[in-house]
Amino acid sequence: MDIDFKGEHLLPGQIGQFFLVLSFGASLISFLSYYFATTDKVSTTAASWQKIGRVGYYLNFVALLGIGVCLFYIIRNHYFEYHYVWAYTSRSLPARYIISAFWNGQEGGFILWLFWQGVLGIFLINKAGSWERPVMTVVALSQVVLATMVLGVEIFHVRLGSSPFLLLRNDMEGPIFSNPNYLSFIKDGQGMVPSLQNYWMIIHPPTLFLGFAAMVVPFAYATAGLWQKRLTEWVQPAISYALFACMILGTGVVMGSFWAYESLNFGGFWAWDPVENASIFAWITMVAALHVLIVFKNTGHSYFTATFLVMISFVLTWYSSFLNRSGILGDTSVHSFTDLGMFWQLVIGILIFLAITVWLLVSRWKQMPITKKDEETYSREFWMFVGAIFLGLSCFHLIVVTSIPVWNAIFHTNIAPPADAARMRHYNVIQSSFVFVITILTAFTQFLKYKKTDVTRFFITTAAYLVFAAFITALIVYATGLYKLNFVFVLVMWGSVYSVIANGKILADALKGQFKLAGSAVGHIGFGLLMVGALISAGTSSVISVNNTGEAFSAEFAKEQNPRENILVYRNQPLKMGDYMVTYLGDSLSAPDHFYKVNYKEMDAAGKVKDDFTLYPKAQVNKGALAASPDTKHYLFHDLYTHITMTNSISMTEDAGTEADEHKTEDDSKAYDAPIAHEVAVGDTIPYREGYIVVKKLNKGVKVKNIPLNPTDISVGAELEIVAHGKTYTAEPVYMIKGKGVFDFAKKVEDAGLKLRFSKILPDKNKVEITVYQQPESQKKYIVMKAIKFPYINFFWAGTIIMVVGFLLSIFRRNKELKTV
């Protein structure tokens, strides 16, 4: 028996689902049409197929726009009858994060990927020229495979993909859904995970998915070249697209590290998390592919290696998506999604593009161009090839270790991935070894010439720059204390400094007229600075919130945090922390952001304040656990990073409430110590545990809210000044005689932990009685916080920007070359 559900908004979801099916169908038509256009030997029918392929692709893109509009509409209007909206949004979610809720779930991420691939496909239709048919066949095929991930339809009792327009009652079971008015009980959604409520999550995923989408273009050119036996022609246009893919994907990954640095509480920008590792698989191999493509273009060597690296980069894009979205990393990564039933769909996606790669490489093996002449050992191409090999080995190591859960699933083993601390040591040492070789190669290869080099001049130049870099490195290592760490980090610093100096020389030459070298020089300088910043900031970061009290806080706390690296700060009670005096000033209790105000005062040797600022780290309860997001004070040469690790100001069983909830009436017998009455006159001082109270004056005729006063009524307010830990507060409790009744109206001074009553007037003594209630020590609000100093981290961020500029310059150069061909 069908139930007539009330209040559901089905039309936008039905339209959105229609567009999903249309997107899949249109991309399938486009793929088949472009395939026939490519294989048809009759030019007139091939041209007709090409027109149909274009129409299909444009229709696919229109459908993607329709999907986006419908999804945003149901999110913006909080239609919680849709599972996607209920799972990732709430009514209290700030408007700026409504946008990021679009790609918060797996389905939204795939739609974003489809959209960007759609944009790139339209660009190729207009710019690819004679390559359009075979290249667009591959791009349209990728659209077909991606579209199945969000189709959400059942075929032979198997659901194909997961639709963002799936209704909540169709995805979950429960007696509530037998009620036609079930929506009246669903007042709000689950909301967005606190760590995702960050502005980087508005721009990081779109950039990252554009990078993923861009990986299909060089793959499509390589596939088209092998398929159509235009074995060498595809290399020149593919270089520009490979540069673009590396630039965008690399930028997206670094944006992710920005987000982790600002939103996660592991204290850094990179933790070698499996999902973090997976995000750079394709970037590493495509960077390697770029260098080998240039080698082939200049010498004719290494064709197979270049082609293999280009094609495997796209396969690894799919593999990284599988690791992130299949649920297989659920126990080893804090970033991975849970499985939405797409496990085998993702596997099939990988196998489709892997099969294309293997089939084309094997079938065209004998026809591939091979240069019989060996490369010169002192040529730039030879060492660029060596650098690409080391990049490949670096990626291979990441894949093997990151994929331990996959090996366990395939071979039914029980290999344990490295734990957090061991994982950091493992990757840091092994990957640093690869980076040392790569940074050295990015430097001395710039002194080599293509094809052949003057050996004597090369050795003299290289040795001079190596010695100079060693001197600079020694100064840096000594000044920062990097020498106290593993020696391999010192070697990486040497290689990075050498890369910056050597490429700086090449850039200087480029500015004198050798402009074609500017892009690579700038890119390598950026990478070198990035590594310098990463080494110093991560390797020599120091915890300044050192706890010398021996306080362990709690057994549960100690499981996750080192008590030695966390300090307990009571509200409005300054505490010395290194060179700073820190004060917990209070917190914002307005949902959804629950942030804490932590004031820092940096003191000089004479005790004067050098710097005074306030940070606002956030902490919210998410599914019974404290989800903390740090706040950071940025300086030119270091960052001061602060996050909350424990607090008693919010309940761990529910999210932070409103201010009204927090300040509800309390039982004074539990909230305060036994009251103490003081007989005082104007000008007297009342001492208490945290400071003192001064009776400033008595004010007659004080009104209390809307209570009317008759001529015979008496109302007196005691104007009090409270001083606690260097801060001053005011309060005015009121004593009232109204008719035959005596009343007093107390005032609370939350920040001072006080409640004050004007309890009596003593006319015969010319005094009044002020009763003081103090919060007990156990009731005082506090935070446990951790503060870390990251020195010279701006080199990391600046290096990233410079590297992106290098990619841009290289793209301009390659596009200019392409126009002259």
Domain range for 117 is: 1-192
Encode pLDDT of 99-124 as tens digits: 899 998 899 999 999 999 999 999 99
Burial level of 808, CB count in 10 A (0-12/13-18/19+)?
middle
Burial level of 312, CB count in 10 A (0-12/13-18/19+)?
buried
Asked if residue 139 and residue 5 are part of one domain, the reply reads yes
Distance CA 27, CA 159 (A): 20
Residue 718, SS3?
strand
Higher-confidence position of 318 and 458: 318
For residue 407, what are its two tokens?
Answer: 């090996």
Measure the CA angle with vertex 28, ends 27 and 33; round to 5°: 95
Encode pLDDT of 664-698 as tens digits: 444 555 678 889 999 999 999 999 888 899 999 99
Query: pLDDT at position 450, please?
Result: 60
Smallest CA-to-CA distance from 564 within 576, 548, 579, 575 is with 548
Average pLDDT over residues 554-563: 71
- Sign, CA torsion 334/336/337/343: negative
Distance CA 407, CA 399 (A): 11
For residue 527, what are its two tokens?
Answer: 């990478």
Query: pLDDT at position 664, please?
Result: 40
Asked if residue 141 and residue 94 are part of one domain, the reply reads yes
Asked if residue 154 and residue 122 are part of one domain, the reply reads yes
Whole-number average pLDDT of the chain:
88
Asked if residue 143 and residue 53 are part of one domain, the reply reads yes
Asked if residue 519 and residue 578 are part of one domain, the reply reads no
Across 11-25, 263-277, 677-691, least confident range: 263-277
- Cβ neighbour number for residue 163 with a 10 Å cutoff: 25
713: in domain:
yes
In the predicted structure, residue 27 carries a pLDDT above the cut 60? yes
Asked if residue 704 and residue 594 are part of one domain, the reply reads no
Query: pLDDT at position 510, please?
Result: 83
Query: pLDDT at position 656, please?
Result: 39
Encode pLDDT of 563-621 as tens digits: 888 999 988 888 899 889 999 988 875 555 678 899 999 988 777 889 999 999 987 76
**DSSP for residue 388:** H
Residue 127, SS3?
helix
Higher-confidence position of 785 and 821: 785
Query: pLDDT at position 225, please?
Result: 97
Task: Name the domain count of the chain.
Answer: 4
* Percent of residues, the chain, with pLDDT higher than 70: 92
Asked if residue 118 and residue 21 are part of one domain, the reply reads yes
- Cβ neighbour number for residue 514 with a 10 Å cutoff: 13
Cβ contacts of 580 within 8 Å, gap of 6 or more: 544, 600, 601, 602, 603
Contacts 24+ apart (CB under 8 A), 256-263: 256/200, 256/204, 256/208, 258/200, 258/204, 258/797, 259/198, 259/200, 259/201, 259/204, 261/632, 261/641, 262/198, 262/200, 262/629, 262/630, 262/632, 263/195, 263/196, 263/198, 263/200, 263/201, 263/629, 263/630
Pairing type for strands 714-724 and 734-738 reads antiparallel
* Percent of residues, the chain, with pLDDT higher than 90: 56
Average pLDDT over residues 215-232: 97
- From 500, 517, 540, give the residue that closes a domain: 540
pLDDT winner (highest mean) among 513-522, 714-723, 775-784: 714-723
Asked if residue 22 and residue 149 are part of one domain, the reply reads yes
Average pLDDT over residues 68-94: 93
Asked if residue 161 and residue 46 are part of one domain, the reply reads yes
Query: pLDDT at position 118, please?
Result: 97
382: in domain:
no
**DSSP for residue 485:** S
Asked if residue 680 and residue 637 are part of one domain, the reply reads no
- From 515, 540, 565, give the residue that closes a domain: 540
- Cβ neighbour number for residue 452 with a 10 Å cutoff: 11
Helices (H), 403-517: 404-411, 420-444, 455-480, 487-511
Cβ contacts of 474 within 8 Å, gap of 6 or more: none
Encode pLDDT of 357-379 as tens digits: 999 999 999 999 987 666 677 77
Q: Are 627 and 195 in contact (CB under 8 A)?
A: yes
Angle (deg, nearest 10), helices 43-76 and 10-39: 160
Query: pLDDT at position 779, please?
Result: 72
118: in domain:
yes
Query: pLDDT at position 70, please?
Result: 97
513: in domain:
yes
Q: Are 754 and 775 in contact (CB under 8 A)?
A: yes
One-letter amino acid for residue 469 of the chain = A
Encode pLDDT of 151-179 as tens digits: 988 887 778 889 999 999 988 888 888 88
Q: Residue holding tokens 């037998």?
A: 178
Res. 413 pLDDT band, cuts 50 70 90: confident
Asked if residue 535 and residue 461 are part of one domain, the reply reads yes
The DSSP code sequence of 556-593 is: HHHHHS-GGG-EEEEBT--EEETTEEEEEEEE--SSS-
Res. 821 pLDDT band, cuts 50 70 90: low
- How many helices (H) and strands (E) the chain has is answered by 24, 23
Query: pLDDT at position 668, please?
Result: 57
User: 178 - beta bridge partners?
Assistant: none
Asked if residue 69 and residue 168 are part of one domain, the reply reads yes
Query: pLDDT at position 579, please?
Result: 87
410: in domain:
no
Query: pLDDT at position 394, please?
Result: 95
Smallest CA-to-CA distance from 296 within 399, 245, 368 is with 368
Query: pLDDT at position 260, please?
Result: 85
